[in-house]
Structure 1
Amino acid sequence: MKKNLLLFFCLGIFAINVKAAKVDSVETYSDAMKKKINALVITPDSYSAGKEYPVVYLLHGAGGSYKDWARSAPAVKESVDAYNMIVVCADGGVTSWYWDSPVDPTYKYDTYVSKELVAYVDKNYKTIKSRTGRAITGLSMGGHGGLYLGIRHQDIYGAAGSTSGGVDIRPFPKNWDMAKRLGNYAENPDVWEKYTVTNLLHLITPKSLAIIFDCGTEDFFYKVNTELHDKMVERNIEHDFIVRPGAHNWQYWSNSISYQLLYFNLYFKKNNPGR
């Protein structure tokens, strides 16, 4: 009898350990940019259960790719299983900043991520097909993208975030190819004003968008993040802002994403009772 109990216990431990999220590499098509774009879709071990799942869209940084989150932040796959959610790692090009560029028609990543990719995922996976079942966040350039797209598309996303995000682009006019997407800052200051997160706060519908963002104290984006926090406080915009020691690197982001996915899980549970 004791041997049988021990065997049962060991088998149970084995079953827990083999539980693992599934990573699908998918090829999507952007009609806006007339090209194929890859993405990763990470589904929980419970995905075959037949219910609908909330989705978090994860955006990479400048110079990165859609593969970065899955291979550099183990907490992503762990959270997918723990919270029974889907995570989609989108490709934003090398330096798209997730804009529909006003000067380069080959860069339409706002349209791609928020319309074409969301439509693809909703068509091919068992998702909660409403804003209360979607969140978006990312790191660095993708942190800008998470808040930029979240604020601009509150009909698509119910929650948005950023980690180490470039939430105010204006102090960096010569960096990360932004001038190629918006035009030279000195010649197009009005465009830069309209395409930076910190100037979009007037678009936020009160109590509509759940917002979380964070930044490390040694990060070169720390100042613009604290300034964004101050502006949100001044406007009485509800949000979670987290500051902790850290720099602009994967050690920080792989820790940060755990808190953000927990935040989104709580949002999904609150707004989708019974999931």
Structure 2
Amino acid sequence: MTFRKHFTLTLHSFFFILNLARAAQIDTVQTYSTVMKKTIKAVVITPNDYQSLQGPLPVVYLLHGYGDRYDGWLKKGKGFETAADLHNMIIVCPDGNVSSWYWDSPKDQNWQYETYISKELVPYIDQHYKTIAQPNGRGITGLSMGGHGALFLAIRHQDVFGVAGSMSGGVDIRPFPKNWEMAKRLGTYAQNPSDWEKYTVMNQLHLLTPNSLALIIDCGTDDFFYSVNQELHRQLLYRNIPHDFISRPGGHTWPYWKNAVQYQFLFMRNYFSKMDR
């Protein structure tokens, strides 16, 4: 390698690292939910040069898993926030409470998280930040319970989200009737089978038409949700719904999600870029 080539590669590497090193701005906001009559926190991450930007930015809503809260990604998935600068986007981490599954619970009016995120939080973010306030400028993804929530919300609210993803998502709740406090939100499966059928992602697919929603689904081969994700993949293929499906060795772990989320952001950046053309 000549000195000139070596210098050029080194210089390019320097500026790439410098770009990643720019510190995204991280804020915690408090939003009021009218439907639940309470204040709920969310993390909002903007690019380092957000204040000097003239145009609006796309937004990705990143949902946490069961037992976690709005700052879970910051505490356990540290490093994901660099995507705000790398892809020039806003990232919002809502609070879905520890076990909401991002549903409007038919059993408890204090758990109305589908309405909160799709009809209260999204308008708040659009009013207070420079956003592309339409579906082709909004994405949503999450891990585990949040992976289920992201697909559930996006499929049911295609007027809000244009692209959606899932990492290790519990995309079919029916095989797990005694797990993760879902019975508190829906009632028991034995006594309320119709709600369990209605509130699973797998039974929302009739709402999709080809290319109505860009989709990326990722689950490790060692994950206890792998079989239901494989089935979701098969059902989407059967319905001719275009989507990306990623599977690789790995379990239901933060090392897997810290890797997976980078693919999710890249997929969404590519979607947003295509919408700009």
Shift of 1:46: 2.3
Among candidates 202, 205, 215, match of residue 201 of structure 1: 205
Output the amino acid matched with 1:34: K
The answer as to 2:42 corresponding to 1:39 is yes
AA paired with 1:47?
Y
Other structure's SS at 2:92 match: strand
> How has the CA–CA distance of structure 1 residues 139 and 17 changed in structure 2, closer, same or farther, with 3 Å as cutoff?
closer
1:171-229 residue CA offsets vs partner (Å, 9 max, x unmatched)? 00001110111111001111100100011100013211000011011111000000100
Q: Which residue of 1 aligns with 2:22?
A: 19
Contact 1:75 1:257 survives alignment (8 Å): no
1:55-94 → structure 2 map (5 Å cutoff): 55-94=59-98
CA contact (8 A) 1:217 1:245 kept: yes
Measured against aligned partners, the alpha-carbon deviations of 1:78-106 in whole angstroms (never above 9, x if no partner) come to 11101100000010001000000011110
The reply to whether residue 117 of structure 1 matches residue 121 of structure 2 is yes
Tell me the C-alpha RMSD between the 2 structures: 1.5
Distance 1:266 1:18 in 2: 22
Structure 2 CA distance for aligned equivalents of residues 204 and 233 of structure 1: 12
What are structure 1's unaligned runs of at least 5 residues? 1-8
1:52 to 40, 44, 56: 56
How far the C-alpha of 1:272 sits from its partner, in A, is 2.0
Kindly indicate whether the alpha-carbon contact (under 8 Å) linking 2:142 and 2:167 is maintained by their aligned counterparts in 1.
yes
Q: CA–CA distance in 2 between the matches of 1:204 and 1:75?
A: 33
> How many corresponding residue pairs?
263
For the 8 Å contact 2:20–2:85, the answer to whether it is kept is: no
Provide TM-score, normalisation by structure 2: 0.92
SS of the residue aligned with 1:129?
coil
Matches within 5 A, 1:181-192: 181-192=185-196
Residue of structure 2 equivalent to 1:233: 237
Matches of 1:57 and 1:18, distance apart in 2: 22
Change (3 A) 1:196 1:15: closer
Q: Secondary structure at the match of 2:247?
A: strand
Residue 244 of structure 1 aligns to a residue whose secondary structure is coil
In structure 2, the residue matched to 1:98 is 102
Residue 77 of structure 1: how far off its partner (Å): 1.3
Aligned sequence identity (%): 59
After superposing the two structures, state which structure 1 stretch, 42-51 or 234-243, moved more.
42-51
Equivalent position amino acid for 1:227 in 2 = E
d(CA) in 2 for partners of 1:109 and 1:23?
23
CA contact (8 A) 1:75 1:258 kept: no
How much has 1:76 moved relative to structure 2?
1.9
Name the SS of the counterpart of 1:120 in structure 2.
helix
Displacement after TM superposition at 1:72 (Å):
2.3
Contact (CA 8 Å) 1:92, 1:109: kept in 2 or not?
yes
Match of 1:5 in 2: none
Aligned to 1:151: 155
One-letter code of the match for 1:19?
Answer: R
TM normalised by structure 1 equals 0.93
